[in-house]
Amino acid sequence: MAARRRLKAVLIDLSGTLHVEDSAVPGAQEALARLRRAPVSVRFVTNTTKECRRMLVERLHGLDFHIEEHEIFTSLSAACRQVERAGVRPLLLLHDSALEDFAGIETSDPNAVVIGLAPEHFNYQTMNKAFRLLLEGAPLIAIHKARYYKRKDGLALGPGPFVTGLEYATDTQATVVGKPEKTFFLEALRELDCQPEEAVMIGDDARDDVGGAQNSGMLGILVKTGKYRPGDEAKINPSPHVTCDSFPQAVDHILQHLL
C-alpha cells in the first residue's frame, strides 16, 4: 500500500454488483450518489457480448441509477477500440443487439474477425467463413472466452468453445478484449488520465473483476452479491484488497479508507 497514490477513479461492475437480474442491490443507488459527491471519477465496466451501451443504460435507468452512456465501458467497447487501433474491417460474429456499438466501423470485404456470443452465427457456413479469413492472416478478436452461461432453461454454450475451435483450426490465438484482460482495465481508465495505481475496481466476480483489476495494478474490492460464492476470495492471488457484503459497504470502505 505504501506505493499507492491518491485514488482518482472507481470502476464498477454492473450485473451482480449494482443489480442482480432485474432488481437493484438494496441501497446501491444512494451509495452511487454518495460516491459521486467524492472527488473521484466513476466508470462502469462490464463483460457483455449481446448488449450495446444504450441497452445497458436503459436497464440501469429503469432501476433508478443515474448513469450516462459515455460512462460505460464494455467488452464490446474494448473490441471496437481494438478494431479501430488495428485499422481492420471486421466480420462481426455478434448478436444483432450488439452491433450498435460498432456503428461507423467499415465491415465490407472483411479482414478481421470479432466474435462474441452469437448463436445465430454459430453454424458451419459462418464459422467456415471466419476460418478462411483467419487462414488469410485476419486477426481473431474475442469479446471473451466464457465456456458457458446460465439460461432460464439451463446452461448453454458461451462464445469460448467457438473461439477455441477457430484457434485450434488455424493454430492461432485470439486476442481477448474483455475482463479479466489487463488491456481491458487500462482502456477503461484511458480517458480518465489516471494510472492503475490510482484506481479501484468493485465487482462480484473474483477472477474477472477483482483478479483482473489487481493484475493490472489496481485495488480490487469483492462484493458478496451476484455470482459470489463463499470461498471465492481464495480463488485469486493476491486476495482481494477487501471483501464487502455489497456495493454500499464497498463505497463506505472507499470513502473512509481510500480517500
| SS3 state at 93 | strand
Measured CA to CA, the distance from residue 42 to residue 28 in angstroms comes to: 14
Nearer to a copy of itself, 33 or 148 (CB): 148
Determine if 171 is a binding residue for a copy of itself (CB under 8 A): yes
Determine if 124 is a binding residue for a copy of itself (CB under 8 A): yes
Strand partners, 243: 222
Candidate segments 31-39, 66-74, 124-132, 245-253, binder of a copy of itself by CB under 8 A? 124-132
Residue labelled with grid coordinates 467497447: 77
| Nearest-approach distance from CB 89 to a copy of itself, in angstroms | 20
Nearer to a copy of itself, 91 or 201 (CB): 91
Contact residue for a copy of itself among 38, 63, 99, 165 (CB under 8 A): 165
CA angle 32, 38, 44 (to 5 degrees): 45
By CB atoms closer than 10 A (0-12, 13-18, 19+), residue 99 is middle
| Nearest-approach distance from CB 77 to a copy of itself, in angstroms | 25
Determine if 116 is a binding residue for a copy of itself (CB under 8 A): no
Measured CA to CA, the distance from residue 185 to residue 177 in angstroms comes to: 10
| Nearest-approach distance from CB 133 to a copy of itself, in angstroms | 12
Measured CA to CA, the distance from residue 233 to residue 256 in angstroms comes to: 22
What is the biggest distance separating any 2 CA atoms in the chain, rounded to whole angstroms? 56
Task: Name the site residues for a copy of itself (rule: CB under 8 A).
Answer: 119-120, 122-125, 127-128, 131-132, 135, 147-148, 154-158, 160-162, 164-166, 168-171
